[in-house]
Amino acid sequence: MRADRSLLRVLVAFALLAAVGFALPDWAAFLLTLALAKGLVVLGLLVLWRTGLVSFGQALFYGTGGYAVGMLGLYLGVSDIVLLTVVATVLAAAVAALVGLLLARYRDIFFAMLSLAFSMILYGILVKTEALGSTDGFNVIQPTFFGYAPEGATMRLCIYLWTALLVVLAAFGVQRYLTSTMGNLAAAIRDNEIRVEYLGVSVVRVVWVKVIIAGALAGAGGAITAFAVGHVDPDAMTYWTVSGEFVFVTILSGTGNVIAPFVGALLFELIRSFAIQYSPYTWQMVLGTSLLLIILFLPNGLWSLVTRLGKQE
Amino acid sequence: MALLEAKGLTKTFGSVTAANDISVSIEEREVIGVIGANGAGKTTFVNMVTGYLKPSAGAILYQGEDITPLSPREITWRGICRSFQVPQVFSSISLSDNLLIALGVAEGERIPFWRPLRQPHLQYAADEIIARYELEQYRGQLVGLLPQGVRKLLDIAMAMAHRPRVILLDEPTSGVSVQEKFGIMDVVMGALHDTGVTVLFIEHDMEIIARFGSRVVAFAEGTIIADGSPQQVLDDPQVRRHVIGETLHRVPHGEEGASDA
């Protein structure tokens, strides 16, 4: 019964997102793809955030995902979107597992700064690597869908549909995880690590798993961005401002619900696109002002609007 | 064979000796009251038994096994749990969620990351504990907002979620008003007695010690100076001087009465 209803919910959510993709003009579907990709990364940050951890280095995993897609195409000629996404996600998770061994032992500002440091190491390496285009980056192979190789707008629509499927699965999976015993340990660890240890649980191990989950989601987000944009370079994929943007969107969204990151990321992309279009020289100020307003009036992010409406009824 | 046995436990911090050659043997189902002035080594002893501090010398045997090198986690899984002088609870979530988490992780060392925490059998178990510890009215409240006495009870209830064979209570009534002390101890000791757990509790109130302890151990300056029935220990001249007699020393200087001496 339960499993059936979950499956139904996943299908309905995917159908809705897919319908939106068909209805939207080409440019908007592209924007939405980028927003959903960003939302995946922010969903990972939500998992950490609820544990009281802020990572300022998600670009490390995001970049790993993006560059994995690029390099697999470049060196091995792999173009299948499923294979590329899976490998990129697994690689990002593996990197997260490795740096997580150290990260999981730190908290607060030390966790944030250490994650930032790790991501800047990758940035430094990529900038110095001539074979990968150094600061210019390189173009990513056009993905194929089980041998089908669409062009132009159809291609963008296919990438969007694949993204929508991933997003629905990720949101469902994370929601399920958050309600599990392991997921519920987030608030417990945030509140009192001593008690968690005395309940017989290794806090470091639980945090390590959360770092890996967040890393995998960031890797998937990076892979999708690489497909959609068709290009990867160090500044767009791994620079610290990219990580900062993810944190920005997390604050904007709030961590109350797994849907919040996607709503927040969409709003972010919309504000940025329109700000660049209408005030090309001061668009950062527009973004900054919006964040300031959110922090002032909705300290728990956009999602608190939904919670408030729910309470009024 | 004793259930839990400390052999020559010593702990030094630099030049300070917090525990000096502590040897004590605890049998199944005993309820041991531990008394001693501040700094006598009571909490240090509990910290060593639960693996939080490693002794500088000596060993701790549990059911014949040397548990001295084990971590607090491993000792928890062996069946020794503890509560704290300052309650260690999860402040930002509700009281019933605190218990659910404690019960959920006590189910096994592999923590489920897919199965929801809110299983009917766990909620039933949490409700039972809530009833047993008389916490019904606080069930859905955020723990950070609850009075100290309630958080003390929760702290103990969470330690008991593991169904331990030994529980160590570090001052279960500290920070609680005098009127509430006996009520809380009645609830705690009643709940513990039902499970058959072996209890060691640190306490400063001699009336509580006399009423709830089946045996009393007195600490002074890092060593055990008396060990026996409550009557024996509380009447021991050394104990009266070192532990209870503290109030007597103060009499010549201060205005406090010596009524309880």
Q: Do B75 and B174 share a domain, yes or no?
A: yes
CB-based contact (8 Å) between B163 and chain A? no
Is residue A260 within 8 Å of A294, Cβ to Cβ?
no
Of B209, B248, B243, nearest to B229 by C-alpha is B209
Asked whether residue B63 is domain-assigned, the answer is no
Residue B18 counted as domain residue? no
Of A142, A28, A8, A21, the closest CA to residue A74 belongs to A142
pLDDT one digit per residue (tens) for chain B, 261 residues: 789 999 988 988 888 888 888 899 999 999 999 988 888 888 999 999 999 999 998 899 999 899 999 999 999 999 999 999 999 999 999 999 999 999 999 988 888 888 888 989 999 999 999 999 999 999 999 999 998 889 999 999 999 999 999 999 999 988 888 888 888 899 999 899 889 999 999 998 888 888 899 999 988 888 888 888 888 888 888 888 877 765 544 444 444 444 443
Report if residue A168 sits inside a domain: yes
In a domain, A51, yes or no: yes
**Residue A209 region by backbone torsions, left for phi larger than 0, else alpha for psi between -120 and 50, else beta:** alpha
Q: In a 3-state reduction of DSSP, which class is residue A17?
A: helix
CB A81 within 8 A of CB A161: no
> Is the CB of A198 less than 8 angstroms away from the CB of B117?
no
If asked whether residues B72 and B191 sit together in one domain, one would say yes
What confidence tens digit (pLDDT) does each residue in A112-137 have?
999 999 999 999 998 888 888 888 88
Is there a single domain that holds both residue B173 and residue B152? no
Burial class (CB in 10 A: 0-12, 13-18, 19+), B121: exposed
pLDDT of residue A2 exceeding 80, the answer is no
**How high is the pLDDT of residue B16?**
87
Q: What is the pLDDT of residue B259?
A: 42
Contact residues, A window 208-227, toward B, CB-based 8 Å cutoff: 209
Spatial distance between the Cα atoms of A238 and A119, rounded to a whole number of angstroms: 7
Q: Do B89 and A197 touch (CB under 8 A)?
A: no
Structure confidence at residue A301 as a pLDDT band (50, 70, 90): confident
- What's the mean pLDDT when you consider all of chain A? 89
Is residue A28, in this structure, part of any structural domain at all?
yes
Residues 6+ apart with CB under 8 A from A69: A84, A85, A88, A140, A141, A222, A223, A226, A227, A232
Domain boundary, last residue among B141, B163, B185 = B163
Quick check: is A18 in a domain?
yes
Angstrom distance (rounded) from CA A148 to CA B228: 84
Q: What is the pLDDT of residue B254?
A: 41
Pick from B81, B111, B117: which is nearest to A179 by CB?
A: B117
Nearest to A186 by CA among B117, B182, B135: B117
Domain with A225 in it: 2-238
Residue A173 belongs to some domain of the structure:
yes
The pLDDT value recorded for residue A280 is: 81
What is the ipTM score, two decimals?
0.86
Nearest residue, CB atoms, B90 vs list A182, A188, A202? A188
Contact A185/B81, CB-based, under 8 Å? no
Q: Are B216 and B93 found together in one domain?
A: no
Mark which of B163, B187, B205 sits at the end of a domain: B163
Give the closest of B72, B77, B117 to A180, CB-based: B117
- Domain with B138 in it: 88-163
Any B CB within 8 A of A191 CB: yes
Q: Which of A181, A184, A198 sits opposite B76 (nearest CB)?
A: A198
Query: Of B120, B147, B163, which marks where a domain is finished?
Result: B163
What's the rounded mean pLDDT across residues A193-200? 93
Q: Do A198 and B81 touch (CB under 8 A)?
A: yes
| pLDDT value, residue B252 | 46
In whole angstroms, give the CA distance from residue A206 to residue A40. Answer: 21
pLDDT of residue A308: 78
Give the chain A residue nearest B98 (alpha carbons).
Answer: A188
Any B CB within 8 A of A183 CB: yes
Residues B33 and B101 in one domain: no
Cβ–Cβ contact A201 with B under 8 A: yes
Residue A250 domain flag: no
Question: In CATH, what number is assigned to the domain containing residue B37?
Answer: 3.40.50.300
Structure tokens at B94: 């509700």
How far apart, in whole angstroms, are the C-alpha atoms of residue B157 and residue B125? 12
- Domain membership of residue B154 (yes or no) is yes
Alpha-carbon separation of residue B200 from A34, A255, B2, B4, B81 (angstroms): 60, 43, 14, 11, 11
CA distance A294 to A136: 35
The total number of structural domains that make up chain A: 1
**pLDDT at residue A135, rounded to an integer:** 85
Radius of gyration in angstroms for the set of CA atoms belonging to chain A, rounded to a whole number:
19
CB contact under 8 A, B114 and A176: yes
Report which DSSP code applies to B116. B
**Which of B52, B111, B115, B117 is the best mutation test for A, with the most CBs of A within 10 A?**
B111
